[in-house]
Amino acid sequence: MTSGAMPRDSGPHDTAPYDLVVVGGGPAGVAGALTAALAGLRVARVDSGPRLGGQYFRHPAVPGRAAGLDRFLRQARALGARADVLLRHQVWAASREPDGDLLVHCTTRNAAGTSREERAVVLRARRLLIATGAHDRPLPFPGWDLPGVLTAGGAQALLKGGGVVAGRRIVVSGTGPFLLPVASGLAGAGARVLGVYEANGGLGLARHPLLALGKAGEAAGYAAALARHRVPYRTRQAVVAAHGEHEVEAVTVARLDRDWNVTATHVVECDTLAVGYGFVPQIELGTQLGCQTRHDVDGSPVLTVDTTLRTTVPGVWAAGEPVGVGGWRLAELEGRLAGRAIIADARTSRTAGTSGIAGTFGIAGTASAPGTTGASSTAGTSGSTGALPTAGAQPSGAPAAGANANGAPATSPDVGDAPSTGADVGGARAARVDVGGGEAVAVVPPVFARRRERWRAFGEALQRAYPVKPGWQGWLRDDTLVCRCEEVPLARVREAQALGATDARSVKLLARPGMGWCQGRICGYAVSCLAGERPQPPRRPIAQPVTLGALASLAPDGALIPGSAPVPDSAPTSDSGPGSAPASGGAGGGAPDDHPAH
Ligand SMILES: Cc1cc2nc3c(=O)[nH]c(=O)nc-3n(C[C@H](O)[C@H](O)[C@H](O)COP(=O)(O)OP(=O)(O)OC[C@H]3O[C@@H](n4cnc5c(N)ncnc54)[C@H](O)[C@@H]3O)c2cc1C
């Protein structure tokens, strides 16, 4: 199987609402979308990238296959046959209509991604699954703005997506097991990896039985790869400064105490530095819709969900990293569970004689007639009647759940080892789960619930094993840029604090960190730490970059101008995905994986 077989842009655009729109084409989004599509729901799956895969299943342009990739590719292919797969569609906002439907606001370029022309597309949906993953979490240090300094995820995205090795003499630094695949991938691709510097102690993985259980084999594989390429792995050490006239030429590596205070230093000459201090879940679409958040073990704001992955906002589910960083296996499982809950919700709506959120949750107004959205270019699937299909029924000629694309029986071995979706929903074997208000409307078999608990505990243990310790703040100098977009040095942050700013928001208002291009995605965590508080949920009305031209194509009330003609690409009105800047991650827009399918 090759990535050339992956679905590319597909999907008719008309105006009937989808039963489900899934944002995110990683393991969570694909599993959720496929589960729902197999049961006959009309599904659209949207991703800003040129192909499905997300962060983990980016198709390697270099030899080596990620564990689970074949299975993921089967899922993605099955999804392409049953749902609208909208690639290169960047979602910048989600909103609720008075009738209860959800609008998913995207921008897109032409199918090949070669044009700079961008146009707005709005999808109307009864339900939304947020599976937007996470992006890298960098920390500032002197010289982190030099060319040649990348996030670990950025270096990996270059390699996996385009086969580009970020440099020739590379240092990898930060914390967490993610440093290992990055270093071994770079070494395997021919780079000389001069060292992996893990700021925490080396027993992180082994200390927790769950970690040892779940990752021992994988860790051993990476250890063997590093040994083969003679890459030193040093614990309680980290890069605390990068040096160079025009680009990075050397880094200062420090020995650290338990709190990451520097105890000794030495200099390593290199041309590239890849740094990563964990991940930041992307939850903007959820917070735009008013979803409640909580703080995860590592302090990151994540979306609050119940056991069926339902958020606190009717009609909105979330799965994978936006619910808490925990790895691709957990993300896939959560996608499946969310898909099952969504099927149950659709059936409940149908049984209740309603056609969506408005009926189900008592939102004022009637569900819109098919094809009418108030936004004339709103995309949807054709042939919708507004009535939700039963599991197993197909509205548009797709194979029924329980049959594959060739009409063969049996359905979704690849959506997991679950019994078939259609049989489970409402089936006698399934556990019914209370999702609020005492009403059992969703189905999560206990075996899945237990598995999710186990993997979630694993994810949390991982976060505990690789914390960010406060000593990093001592690595900064007065002139160290904390916010690169607005060029705010540490001294200005401290001035703001001296003027009375006691939280990150006040620091931002007084000193402008987070006001620029990336809207705090890169510096937000650091500014919160410097201000002495946990990171707060994002309050961004624009989740991803959108051009003034695309915005100008929207009518004043936010509806899309009929026709949604292509508009010229112009300066972004807000933030950019961190893809193109130095020390930027691979998430969000601009990921450099624009190579032809292979
Ligand atoms: C940079 C990075 C590198 C990683 N590398 C590894 C690794 O090598 N090994 C490993 O085991 N784990 C890795 N992980 C962790 C692993 O990727 C995750 O555990 C897993 O992929 C989570 O799956 P997901 O479906 O939740 O999100 P993802 O796989 O991240 O998928 C999310 C998808 O949503 C899309 N998206 C996000 N926002 C929008 C939007 N507004 N509009 C349209 N599309 C959007 C993204 O393009 C992406 O394709 C990495 C994580 C990151 C952040």
* C-alpha of residue 568 to centroid of ligand 1, in Å: 29
| Domain limits, the chain | 12-134+280-394+416-462, 140-276, 469-544
pLDDT, residue 415, reads 53
Nearest CA to ligand 1 atom 15: 327
CA–CA separation, 149 vs 252, rounded Å?
Answer: 13
CA–CA separation, 333 vs 375, rounded Å?
Answer: 35
> Shortest CA distance to 23 belongs to which of 165, 166, 121?
121
Equal fold, 140-276 vs 469-544: no
* C-alpha of residue 587 to centroid of ligand 1, in Å: 7
Nearest CA to ligand 1 atom 5: 56
pTM score: 0.80
pLDDT in tens, 41-77: 999 999 998 888 888 887 654 445 667 888 898 999 9
Burial class (CB in 10 A: 0-12, 13-18, 19+), 362: exposed
Closest atom of ligand 1 to CA, residue 332: 25
pLDDT, residue 50, reads 86
> Shortest CA distance to 79 belongs to which of 384, 397, 398, 383?
398
CA–CA separation, 213 vs 209, rounded Å?
Answer: 6
Nearest CA to ligand 1 atom 37: 132
Nearest CA to ligand 1 atom 6: 56
Cα separations in angstroms, 345 against 261, 310, 352, 360: 52, 10, 10, 9
pLDDT, residue 86, reads 94
In this prediction, residues 131-136 reach a mean pLDDT of 96
b/e per residue 259-297 (b: at least 16 CB within 10 A): ebbbeeeeebebbbbbbbbbbbbbbbbbbbbebebeebe
In this prediction, residues 585-597 reach a mean pLDDT of 29
Task: Tell me phi and psi for residue 193, to 5 degrees.
Answer: -90, 115
Nearest CA to ligand 1 atom 12: 56
* C-alpha of residue 282 to centroid of ligand 1, in Å: 10
Mean pLDDT of the residues in the chain: 77
The CA radius of gyration of the chain, in Å to the nearest whole number, is 24
- Any alpha helices (H) in 39-68, and if so which ranges? none
Kindly report the CATH class assigned to 140-276: alpha beta
> Shortest CA distance to 211 belongs to which of 447, 448, 463?
463
State the pLDDT confidence band at 369, using cuts at 50, 70 and 90: very low
Closest atom of ligand 1 to CA, residue 589: 47
Q: Among 7-21, 49-63, 411-425, 460-474, which stretch is predicted with the lowest mean pLDDT?
A: 411-425
- Residue 482 — left, alpha, or beta (φ > 0 → left; ψ -120 to 50 → alpha)? alpha
> Shortest CA distance to 301 belongs to which of 67, 9, 64, 524?
524
Q: Among 86-95, 194-203, 368-377, 411-420, which stretch is predicted with the lowest mean pLDDT?
A: 368-377
- Checking if the pLDDT of 428 tops 80, the result is no
Strand 432-434 relative to strand 440-443, pairing: antiparallel
Pocket test for ligand 1, best of 56, 91, 296, 462 (most atoms within 8 A of CB): 56
Closest atom of ligand 1 to CA, residue 56: 17
* C-alpha of residue 385 to centroid of ligand 1, in Å: 34
CA–CA separation, 314 vs 319, rounded Å?
Answer: 15
Pocket test for ligand 1, best of 132, 172, 179, 334 (most atoms within 8 A of CB): 132
CATH for 469-544?
1.10.10.1100
> Shortest CA distance to 42 belongs to which of 122, 130, 126, 132?
126
**DSSP 8-state symbol, 470:** G
Pocket test for ligand 1, best of 79, 88, 328 (most atoms within 8 A of CB): 328
Pocket test for ligand 1, best of 3, 51, 55 (most atoms within 8 A of CB): 55
Kindly report the CATH class assigned to 12-134+280-394+416-462: alpha beta
Burial class (CB in 10 A: 0-12, 13-18, 19+), 421: buried
Residues with CB under 6 A from ligand 1: 23-29, 46-49, 54-56, 90-91, 131-136, 153, 156, 178, 181, 279, 282, 320-321, 327-328, 331, 543-544, 585-587
* C-alpha of residue 489 to centroid of ligand 1, in Å: 30
pLDDT, residue 65, reads 64
* C-alpha of residue 207 to centroid of ligand 1, in Å: 26
Q: Around Cβ 428, how many Cβ atoms within 10 Å?
A: 6
Higher pLDDT pick, 82 / 380:
82
Q: Among 99-113, 389-403, 473-487, 535-549, which stretch is predicted with the lowest mean pLDDT?
A: 389-403
Contacts of 138 (CB under 8 A, 6+ apart): 144, 151, 275, 276, 277, 522, 526, 583, 584, 585
In this prediction, residues 121-135 reach a mean pLDDT of 96
pLDDT in tens, 560-580: 433 333 332 333 233 333 222
Nearest CA to ligand 1 atom 20: 328
> Shortest CA distance to 297 belongs to which of 135, 138, 461?
461
* C-alpha of residue 176 to centroid of ligand 1, in Å: 16
Highest mean pLDDT among 210-214, 259-263, 544-548, 553-557: 259-263
Nearest CA to ligand 1 atom 30: 133
pLDDT in tens, 245-255: 999 999 999 99
State the pLDDT confidence band at 423, using cuts at 50, 70 and 90: very low
